[in-house]
Chains A and B, each alone.
Chain A
Amino acid sequence: MNNSFKDQVKSSLWLGMFKYNATFILWVALAPVLAITQNLDQAIYLGLIVTLILIVTSLIMSMIKTQQQGLLYQVATLTLIAALVTISEMILQIDQPAIYRGLGIYLPLSTISIYIIFHRAHQKDTTLISNVLSKGASGLGFLMALIIVSIIRSILSSGAIKLFGIQMRLFDVAYSFNSMETAFGSLLVVGLIIGFVNSYVNRGQVK
C-alpha cells in the first residue's frame, strides 16, 4: 500500500504541476501572475496561501457528500474559499503588513482564482486522497509558475533576485530594463514564457 501511495503522490504532482500546470498549460488565473510577480516575496506568499486554501477546501468539501457538480456544491465551495481567504487576509495583515499591502486587491481577488483552479484541477478518481492531492498539486504548480515569472521579471528589471531581504545580484542595475516592472513588461514576459512553453509542449486535451 505504501508504494502505491507514493506513486499516487508522484503522479498527482506531475499532473498538477507540469502536465496541467494552471498558468502555463491551462492558462487560468493569469491576473495574479501578471499583477503581483514584480516582487518575489509577494508571489511566494500568495502561491503558498492559494495552495493551502486549495488543500483545506478540498479536504472539507470531500467530506461533505454532495454531488460534485450541483449548484449547492459550487456555492458552498466558493463561500468556503472566500471565508478562508478572509482568514488569511487577517493573518497576513498582522503578520506581514508590507506583503499584505503589496498584494492589494489580489489577495481577495484570488478567491475566484482559487475557485477556478479548484474546478480545473485534473484528478483521476473521486477518492478523498486523489482529490486533495490533485488540488494541492495544482496549487504548487501555480506557486511554481509565480516563482518562475517573478524571478525572470526581477532579473530583467533590476539585475538581481530579491528574496526576503537577501539580494543576489547578477548584473548591474544600469543594464536592466526598468519597464519590466510595469504592466507592459509583465504582459510581455508572461506572453513570451507562455509562448515558448506552448511551442515545445503539446497541450493536448486541455478543455
Chain B
Amino acid sequence: MIEFTTFIQMIIAAVLINNVLLQSFLGIEVIEENVPSPKEIFKLLLALVISVPFASGLGYVVYHQVLFSMNELGEVTRDLTYFMTLISVVIVVIVMLTVAQLIKKVFPKVHELHVNYTNQLITTSLVLGSVLIIVASAQTLLESVLLGVFISIGYGLVLMFLTLIERQLVDAPVLKGFRGLPLRLIILAIIALIVSGFSG
C-alpha cells in the first residue's frame, strides 16, 4: 500500500504543483463563458471525479496490456503504443457517454449540465488530457485511479477560486476589452503566480 507521506505528496503534487488547469491548461474552455456557480462546480466535479479515475484506470490497463502484447509477439516491429491516442479517445468518449447516462439516471438535475454541447467538449478535453497525463506517469493501477481523483479535485478547487473572485467583480468598471475571458486568464495568471511559489 502507499505510505501516508507519499500519499500527501501525491495530493500536493496533483493539486498544487501540477494543477491541470494552471499548469497543463486542461479544461480551460470553461472560462469562455461565466465561470459556473459553486453549485454547478460541485456537479461538474462529481462527474469528473467519476469519469477521470475510471477512464484513467481503463487507459492504464489498456496501455500496459498493449505493451505486454507487444513484448510477447516478438515479430511485431512497430511500437503498438502509438495506438494509445486513438484508444484513449475511444475510451474517453465511451466513458463520458456512460457516465452521462449514469448521472441522468441517478441525479437527474446534474444531467442538465451535460446537455450543453460546449460543456461536453470542455469535459472531454479535460478528461482526455488527464488520461494522457496519468497513463504517462502512473506506476500502478491504484496510482492511476487516485491521481485521477486528485486531478479532478485540483481542477475543481481552482474553479472555486475563480468563482469567488468573479463574484466580487460583478460591478467593477473593468476595461471593456478585458471583460470576461481575458480578465479570467489574468486572474488565473495571478493564482498561478501564488502557486508557483510553493513548488520551490
Contacts and interface: CB of A to CB of B under 8 A. Distances in A.
Direct A–B contact in the complex, CB atoms closer than 8 angstroms: yes
Interface of A: 27-28, 30-31, 34-35, 75, 78-79, 82-83, 85-86, 89-90, 105, 108-109, 111-113, 115-116, 182-188, 190-192, 194-200
A112 B121 contact: yes
Range of interface residues on chain B?
A: 35 or more
B129 A191 contact: no
B183 interface: yes
B125 A31 contact: yes
Interface in B28-51: 28-29, 32
A111 B91 CA distance: 14
Interface of chain A: mostly helix, strand, loop or mixed: helix
A199 B125 contact: no
A199 B25 contact: no
Interface of B: 22-29, 32, 82-86, 88-90, 93, 121, 124-125, 128-129, 132-133, 136, 175-178, 181-186, 188-189, 192-193, 196
A200 B25 CA distance: 26
Contacts of A109: 26, 125, 128-129, 132
19 contacts: A27-B32, A28-B29, A31-B29, A79-B89, A79-B90, A82-B85, A108-B84, A108-B132, A109-B26, A113-B125, A183-B23, A183-B25, A183-B192, A187-B192, A191-B184, A194-B182, A198-B182, A199-B178, A200-B177
B23 to A, nearest CB: 5
Nearest to A116: B121
Contacts of A30: 25, 28-29
- Which 9 A-B pairs give the minimum distances between C-beta atoms? A199-B177, A191-B185, A195-B182, A187-B189, A108-B85, A184-B192, A195-B178, A188-B189, A112-B125
A35 B24 contact: yes
A105 B183 contact: no
